[in-house]
Amino acid sequence: MRKHSKTVLSDGTLRKREGTLYLENRKGKLPLPIEEVYDIYIYGHVNITSQALHFLAQKGVAVHFFNHYGYYDGSFYPKEKLHSGDLVIRQAEHYLDPEKRLELARLFVKGSALNMEKNLKRWKVADGFSDMLGELFRELEDARKITEVMNVEARIRQEYYARWDEHLPEGFKIVKRTRRPPENEMNALISFLNSRLYATIVSELYNTQLVPTVSYLHEPGERRFSLALDLSEIFKPIIADRVANRLVKQGIIKKEHFRDDLNGVLLTKEGTKKVVEAYNEEMRRSVRHPNLKTNVTKQRLIRLEAYKLMRHFVGSGRYEPLVAWF
């Protein structure tokens, strides 16, 4: 990929000058050559001129915004460029038909669970997890409603966090997964990474013909891009959780990288920088793809997952969720 994701941590103004995008602030002018920009992630306080927005829209570059806590706020999602009326209809059909919707919802949960299992095995804390999965998968097959599928998912996740905790260093236990606001460091770290991952998936979906607002496990409308939520179930364990785990196990992220806030715990600026670096590095890392017989980056795996969904929708083979072989 010649294009790269750009992350903006500092404050400033995003402006277009003579066909180039610049981030300008007191420290100077940082050029962002548009032909090299795949998407932009903004954490700082950034003003964007309307010329810059027009330019980004014209080039089909999505911009994602994160708040003070590093949570996803929203995206500048330029007018969808690639439409396929036929695919839209088939996506909707898979939502409207209860059997088809359930099948996909189950597959997302299964894929997610198998990736959690893979992590626990790597971390050597998989005690009894596989047996438990066997039982819960049977329940999953019997589930007749999406809420029942969701319920199984929540129980799997609980078992997963309990075991992962055994592997985590003191001071970085999850104990109870708390989201908004996160009540401890590890929760803050996981939430931060999940937000970033969600935005990455939104970007990948933007570059396909899939409609990002029609989803199966999550109710459409739960978030604007609810299909990204569905896909994030597959990728949270193998991307976000692994990065979080590595950061605290290797002591790259320490207590000092967090601070208390009225509303819980959040990463400091320095902490944010380290986490974003680790995440970007992870996304650029390649693995050999067994079907394609080429090397693909972790980020590309998300696009490939979208392609598998497209094939599912057009009736060319059933979707098989990615289960990490790496």
Q: Give contact residues for another protein (rule: CB under 8 A).
A: 81-87, 207, 209, 289, 291-292, 303-304, 307-308, 310-311, 314-316
CB 203 within 8 A of CB 232: no
Please count the CA atoms within 13 angstroms of the CA of 81 that sit on its side-chain side: 14
Query: DSSP assignment, residue 296?
Result: E
CA distance 83 to 273: 36
Q: Which is nearer to another protein, 14 or 211 (CB)?
A: 211
Q: Which is nearer to another protein, 50 or 291 (CB)?
A: 291
Phi, psi angle pair for 7, to nearest 5°: -110, 130
Q: Which is nearer to another protein, 147 or 291 (CB)?
A: 291
CB 190 within 8 A of CB 240: yes
Q: For residue 267, what is the enclosing H or E element?
A: strand 264-267
Q: How far is the CB of 93 from another protein (least distance, A)?
A: 12
Q: How far is the CB of 52 from another protein (least distance, A)?
A: 22
Question: To 10 degrees, the CA torsion angle through 192, 194, 196, 201?
Answer: -170
CA distance 185 to 238: 20
CA distance 51 to 56: 9
Q: Which is nearer to another protein, 180 or 288 (CB)?
A: 288
Q: How far is the CB of 194 from another protein (least distance, A)?
A: 24
Q: How far is the CB of 324 from another protein (least distance, A)?
A: 15
Q: Which is nearer to another protein, 49 or 207 (CB)?
A: 207
Residues 152, 154, 157, 158: is their CA dihedral positive or negative? negative
Q: How far is the CB of 306 from another protein (least distance, A)?
A: 9
CA distance 31 to 21: 6
Q: How far is the CB of 120 from another protein (least distance, A)?
A: 26
Q: Which is nearer to another protein, 81 or 179 (CB)?
A: 81
Place of tokens 């000092």: 256
CA distance 64 to 125: 36
What amino acid is encoded at 198 in this protein? Y
Q: How far is the CB of 90 from another protein (least distance, A)?
A: 9
Q: Which is nearer to another protein, 86 or 261 (CB)?
A: 86
